Chain A
Amino acid sequence: MDSTPLNLLDLLIPEAIALNFTAASAEAVIRHLAAALLRQGYVRETFAEAALEREARLPTGLRLSGEIHAAIPHTDIEHVLRPAVGLATLPEPVIFRNMIDPTDVVPVRLVFLLALEQPKSQVEMLQQVATILQNPQVVSDLVTAQTLEEVRRILAQVMPAQS
Chain B
Amino acid sequence: MMTTTPPRSFTILVACGTAIATSTHVALKIKELLGERGLDVQTVQCRVQDLPGMALNADLIVATAQVPFDVNIPVVDGIPFLTGIGTKEVVDQIEQILRQSPPTP
Instruction: Give which listed residue, B21, B25, B84, contacts A74 with CB less than 8 A.
Output: B21
Chain B contacts for A63, CB-based, 8 A: 83, 85
**What's the least CB distance linking B49 to chain A, in Å?**
9
Which residues 53-105 in B have Cβ within 8 Å of A in the complex? 63-66, 77, 79, 81-85
Main secondary structure of the interface of B (DSSP, over half): mixed
Binary contact readout A88-100 vs B (1 if CB under 8 angstroms, 0 otherwise): 0000000000011
Main secondary structure of the interface of A (DSSP, over half): loop
Instruction: Give which listed residue, A57, A99, A120, contacts B64 with CB less than 8 A.
Output: A99
Task: Given A99-B65, A100-B66, decide whether A130 and B82 contact each other with a Cβ distance below 8 A.
Answer: yes
Q: Contact check, A64 vs B20: say whether CB atoms are below 8 A apart.
A: no
Q: Contact check, B18 vs A126: say whether CB atoms are below 8 A apart.
A: no
Instruction: Give which listed residue, B24, B66, B85, contacts A126 with CB less than 8 A.
Output: B24
Cβ of A133 under 8 Å from chain B: yes
Which residues 68-103 in A have Cβ within 8 Å of B in the complex? 72, 74-77, 99-102
Cβ of A123 under 8 Å from chain B: yes
Q: Contact check, A74 vs B65: say whether CB atoms are below 8 A apart.
A: no
Task: Given A65-B85, A75-B18, A133-B83, decide whether A102 and B66 contact each other with a Cβ distance below 8 A.
Answer: yes
Cβ of A58 under 8 Å from chain B: yes
19 contacts between A and B (CB under 8 A): A54-B18, A57-B17, A58-B16, A62-B79, A63-B85, A64-B83, A65-B83, A65-B85, A72-B21, A74-B21, A77-B20, A99-B64, A99-B65, A100-B64, A100-B65, A120-B24, A126-B22, A127-B28, A130-B82
Mark A residues whose CB is within 8 Å of B: 54, 57-58, 60, 62-65, 72, 74-77, 99-102, 114, 116, 118-120, 122-123, 126-127, 129-130, 133-135
- Other than the given A64-B83, A119-B19, A122-B20, 4 more pairs (CB < 8 A) read A64-B85, A65-B85, A74-B20, A123-B24
